[in-house]
Chains A and B, each alone.
Chain A
Amino acid sequence: NAGVTQTPKFQVLKTGQSMTLQCAQDMNHNSMYWYRQDPGMGLRLIYYSASEGTTDKGEVPNGYNVSRLNKREFSLRLESAAPSQTSVYFCASTRGTGGFVYGYTFGSGTRLTVV
């Protein structure tokens, strides 16, 4: 089972450039999430999609946009990258709501450096 797949694994951007981080899951999960992980700050939620067709802001959404392309795919876009967006980005998914809450599955991460 592939689980949650993120591409690319590494990326270097210049300030002001744009890029899209891709995430796909093959577990038929309803909910998908984007987190960033920074030293001393832990993991913080950027955006999430509770179900196909919906997206909501998390704790640190500024400078990002997301698209839930279909049930499998959830992309994160940086329109104009800034050095403060240098981080490790993780995509995650879970089966979703409905009264019983399931655990999360995480991708292996995208290490982004903005220079």
Chain B
Amino acid sequence: KQEVTQIPAALSVPEGENLVLNCSFTDSAIYNLQWFRQDPGKGLTSLLLIQSSQREQTSGRLNASLDKSSGRSTLYIAASQPGDSATYLCAANNNAGNMLTFGGGTRLMVKP
């Protein structure tokens, strides 16, 4: 059974810092890995999707990498802003049923 872990569970940084969020998974036979953002009381917004054949994806100040062999993905946020404050979730997709297994999330606070 796939297990996904995110470390740290919470992170507080001053505005302008570059930061890395970590995601690890136990079963490397994934189809893809997706990063989401969730604001308090809201739904999930997709940030980046990395296919198993890819090493990284970029969108604006966000860069996600994938290393299947080590069972790790990282989300890099450059020049963080207070508007980046949210919970970030990673999810691994393992099988033909397209079922996602989610990590517990990292709650990010960017202080002005």
Q: Which of A13-21, A63-71, A93-101 forms contacts with chain B?
A: A93-101
CB of B66 within 8 A of chain A? Answer: no
Q: Give Cα A107–Cα B46 distance, bound, in whole angstroms.
A: 11
Of the four ranges (under 10, 10 to 19, 20 to 34, 35 or more), the interface on chain B belongs to: 20 to 34
CB of A53 within 8 A of chain B? Answer: no
Q: Which residue in A42, A101, A109 is a CB contact (below 8 Å) of B42?
A: A109
Inter-chain contact A103/B34, CB cutoff 8 Å: yes
Q: Which of B15-23, B67-75, B91-99 forms contacts with chain A?
A: B91-99
Which residues of B sit under 8 angstroms from A102, Cβ to Cβ? 49
Inter-chain contact B44/A90, CB cutoff 8 Å: yes
Residues B53-112 near A (CB distance < 8 A): 89, 91, 93, 96-100, 102-105
5 A-B pairs besides A102-B49, A104-B98 with CB distance below 8 A are A42-B105, A43-B91, A48-B99, A94-B98, A101-B31
